[in-house]
Amino acid sequence: MVNELNALENKIALVASLCRTLRAENMQLRQQLAVAEDDRKGLAERMESARSRLEQLAEQLPEAKATV
């Protein structure tokens, strides 16, 4: 009976340790996700800015005349 209780205690300690490890990993992953989302937003803004600038430059180009 004592051996069974010791084994159960060890298993509970192992599960508790795993739970702490997973919580820490989850927190770290959430932080990494937040950083990645911020980076994605910044890149999307830069792409929109670049698209707008390219459109402005394209409007300034003289139109090509067809030569036949």
**65 in any annotated domain:** no
**63 in any annotated domain:** no
**17 in any annotated domain:** yes
**60 in any annotated domain:** no
**29 in any annotated domain:** yes
Amino acid 44: pLDDT: 98
Amino acid 26: pLDDT: 98
Q: Which residues form the domain of 35?
A: 1-52
pLDDT (tens digit, 0 to 9) for every residue of the chain, 68 residues total? 999 999 999 999 999 999 999 999 999 999 999 999 999 999 999 999 999 999 999 999 888 666 66
Amino acid 66: pLDDT: 61
**44 in any annotated domain:** yes
Which structure tokens are listed for 8? Answer: 């159960």
DSSP string, 4-65: HHHHHHHHHHHHHHHHHHHHHHHHHHHHHHHHHHHHHHHHHHHHHHHHHHHHHHHHHSPPPP
Give the total number of structural domains in the chain: 1
**57 in any annotated domain:** no
Amino acid 67: pLDDT: 63
